[in-house]
C-alpha cells in the first residue's frame, strides 16, 4: 500500500520541480508575472492548472483520510 502512495506522489513532486526550474526570471520567487497573467491564454492556462491541482489535492486528502 505504501508503494501506491509513492506512485501517486512522484509525478506531483516532479511537476513542482519542473515548475520551479522553468519559472520566469524575476526578482521575486513568484511563478506568474503580474503583467502577463491577465492575457486571456495565460489566464485560462493558469485557471486550468489551478483546478487540476485542486482536484488532485482533494483526492489525495480523502485518500489519506480514509486509508
Residue 9, CB-side half-sphere exposure with 13 Å CA sphere:
9
Would you state the pLDDT for residue 26?
A: 64
Would you state the pLDDT for residue 42?
A: 81
DSSP H helical ranges for the chain? 2-21, 40-65
Low-confidence residues of the chain: pLDDT under 50:
none
**Overall pTM surpassing 0.85 (yes/no):** no
Q: For residue 8, give its domain range.
A: 2-65
Amino acid at each position: 500500500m505504501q508503494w501506491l502512495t509513492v506512485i501517486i506522489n512522484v509525478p506531483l513532486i516532479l511537476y513542482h520541480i519542473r515548475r520551479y526550474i522553468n519559472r520566469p526570471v524575476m526578482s521575486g520567487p513568484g511563478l506568474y508575472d503580474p503583467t502577463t497573467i491577465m492575457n486571456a491564454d495565460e489566464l485560462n492556462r493558469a485557471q486550468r492548472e489551478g483546478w487540476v491541482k485542486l482536484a488532485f489535492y482533494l483526492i489525495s486528502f480523502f485518500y489519506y483520510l480514509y486509508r
